[in-house]
Amino acid sequence: MYKEDDYIMISALQHFLFCPRQCALIHLEQEWSENYLTTSGNLLHKKVNEGASESRKNIHIARSLRLFSSELGISGISDVVEFYRKNDPDESCCRLENKEGWWQPYPVEYKRGKTKNDETDEVQLCAQAICLGEMLKVKIKSGSLYYGSENRRHEVLFTQELRYLTQTISEKVHALINNKLTPKAEYSKKCLACSIYDVCIPEKNHKKDIGYFKLIYGEDD
């Protein structure tokens, strides 16, 4: 169990999976800058988060819930958590204040782009589900990622493998923060879309590392 003072942001897990150096620059060195990708993403989140919570007959939609998990030592703010009324409650259901019956939570995270070829978004959503599960004392089985460019949801199952990956990444981020060491740059195509490219300067730093390697070991590996 972690103390609240040691909590890291849920977003740090996604940043670490994208690039450990980016994670360190943002969450350790407090570096940040906006680019067109983060700006459009912020506008999408603002539109979602500024909407009021609402209730219908069998669904309650909550926005901008504060989430935390002392088990993983993480905290953050959800985009949307939908609660569905269930007549036959099971381990995935909970009670809601000022509402009758049993309700099943379903987290939804909004993304500006399209589906990725990695698990960065799935881990972020799974971390939210783990927080909700701990807070509400339920087992959350699934949630959704909504991608603005595709204008549709993709359901994510919170399998044991995904939960384990989320826990592992959380431990690695805690270690990164505690060690206070920023990893070296490793230049790749994804660097061009990074919001802190001008802070990191990955191509320049990466070339320096390569030059040093050649100086010591010669031209060949």
Average pLDDT value for the chain = 84
- Report pLDDT for 2: 95
- pLDDT per position as a tens digit, 9-44: 999 999 999 999 899 999 998 876 544 444 444 444
Per-residue confidence (pLDDT) for residue 42, from 0 to 100 = 46
Q: Is the pLDDT of residue 151 over 80?
A: yes
Determine contact, residues 76/9, Cβ cutoff 8 Å: yes
Return the pLDDT at 185: 82
Residue 152 and residue 141 in contact, taking contact as beta carbons nearer than 8 Å: no
Amino acid letter, 216: I
Q: What is the CA radius of gyration of the chain?
A: 20
Contact 108, 80 (CB under 8 A): yes
Please give the pLDDT value at position 204.
Answer: 64
Do 10 and 76 form a contact (C-beta atoms < 8 A)? Answer: yes
Which phi and psi (to 5°) does residue 100 adopt? -85, 155
Could you give the angle at which helices 160-179 and 20-27 cross, rounded to 10 degrees? 60
Mean pLDDT across 174-185: 91
pLDDT value at 211 more than 50? no
Please determine, for residue 165, whether its predicted confidence score (pLDDT) is greater than 90.
Answer: yes
| The pLDDT of residue 216 | 36
Structure tokens at 145: 């990622």
Is the pLDDT at 103 greater than 60, yes or no? yes
Q: Is the pLDDT of residue 206 over 60?
A: no
Look at residue 50 in the predicted model and tell me its pLDDT: 58
Give 203's pLDDT tier (boundaries 50, 70, 90): low
Count helices and strands (H / E) in the chain. 7, 9
pLDDT given at position 51: 58
Q: Which pLDDT does position 30 carry in this prediction?
A: 85
Element (H, E) at 67: strand 66-69
pLDDT tens for each residue of 108-141: 999 988 888 889 999 999 999 999 999 999 999 9
Measured in whole angstroms, the distance separating CA 30 from the mean position of its chain's CA atoms is 17
CA atoms within 13 Å, Cβ hemisphere of 159: 8
Nearest to 94 by CA among 79, 109, 107, 84: 84
The answer on pLDDT for 214 being more than 70 is no
Predicted confidence at residue 116, as pLDDT, reads 84
**Would you say 130 and 105 are in contact if contact means Cβ atoms under 8 Å apart?**
no
Report the pLDDT averaged over residues 52-68: 89
Q: What is the pLDDT of residue 53?
A: 73
Q: Which helix (H) or strand (E) holds 84?
A: strand 80-86
